[in-house]
Amino acid sequence: MGQAHGRRRPPAATRAKPSWHVLPAIFFPYAADRGPCLLISSPLADRAISRTDNFDPVVHPTFFHLNHPIRFVRLVGTVVAVEDLGPRFVLLTLDDGSGATLELKVTRLSPAESAVLHTAAASTTTTTTIPTATTSSSSSSSSSIFHTTVDNLIVRSAIGVFEVLVGGVPVDIGTTIKAKATLGTFRGAVQGVLQRCWVLRGNGAGGSSSSTRDEAAEWLGTATFMLSVLAKPWVLSADDIRRLERRLAREEKQRRDEERRAERKRAERARRKEEVYRERREKVRVYEEKVERRRRQEEVLMNKGALV
């Protein structure tokens, strides 16, 4: 038998460990060179490493690229699928041209919350009202409008009608958008949770070419960020760590000082309130004693000359 061509992957036991390590979570907010939002492509988002074993999934980021903590991701691409998972969710599948796609989940608000927001938007004259979408009917009731957890994204849903609008612009297959999302998992696959969304489009004539230029500019920014920041691990020197530790110590001292000041203010307010109550109780006591003395004097006067 001939030897198999290609190089075998070494066993997990002998595989070389990465030279980088995940930094302590206290340093995550101070990655000033990379910011809280990572400009990444869909394959990188799909390969993001989930580390829920050492970090609180509610407080700390649970996904990493190398050792870069992922709090938010920003992607630019074309919508290739829109799914209505009513009555709770909407899925937008984004293709950023990198060879992979990423699902973005949008959560609808409850009908009661949507009705309140729709009424407030309709009654406010200083803000822009929600534009009506182009449908076969001339008007639609407010019950078919569902607000979402994304501020500028609404969903129109009724019998025979389903539309997703971002800033009043319909989002359909072929629409190019810029999305900011957090990462999560669903049935073992990485999924984006949409937080902000913008439609890339041109104004006036040549709008399509303008949209293409906008998408190309965003892609250039993403590629530059990936090469300059994400291609290498996030490293802090010993001086950086000492500087951040001193900064954290100062912030912790400031936080404790503020807590002590707040506690002193609460104690002072409680003391003043107790003094006011004590003065009020003293006045009530003096008044009641005065009333009682007057009652006794009147009783003595009325009892004079009474038959025994």
pLDDT attached to residue 267: 94
pLDDT attached to residue 182: 83
Ranges of the chain with pLDDT below 70: 1-21, 25, 29-62, 114, 118, 121-143, 201-211, 228, 305-308
DSSP 84: E
Residues 225 and 192: their CA atoms lie apart, in Å, by 20
Residue 128 sits at the vertex; the CA angle it makes with 126 and 132, to the nearest 5 degrees, is: 145
The reported pTM is 0.58
15-60 tens-digit pLDDT: 455 566 677 767 776 664 555 556 666 656 666 655 544 455 554 4
Q: Where are the beta strands (DSSP E) in 45-71?
A: 49-50, 63-65, 68-70
Residue 206 token pair: 């040549």
pLDDT attached to residue 9: 46
Helix or strand (DSSP H, E) at 198: strand 189-199
pLDDT attached to residue 200: 82
pLDDT attached to residue 265: 95
The identity of residue 189, as a single letter, is A
Pairing of strands 72-85, 37-39: parallel
Per CATH, which fold does 25-235 belong to? Answer: OB fold (Dihydrolipoamide Acetyltransferase, E2P) (2.40.50)
pLDDT attached to residue 129: 45
Residues 98 and 170: their CA atoms lie apart, in Å, by 25
Residues 105 and 267: their CA atoms lie apart, in Å, by 47
Residues 234 and 32: their CA atoms lie apart, in Å, by 11
Domain range summary for the chain, segments of one domain joined by +: 25-235, 237-303
CB 100 within 8 A of CB 46: yes
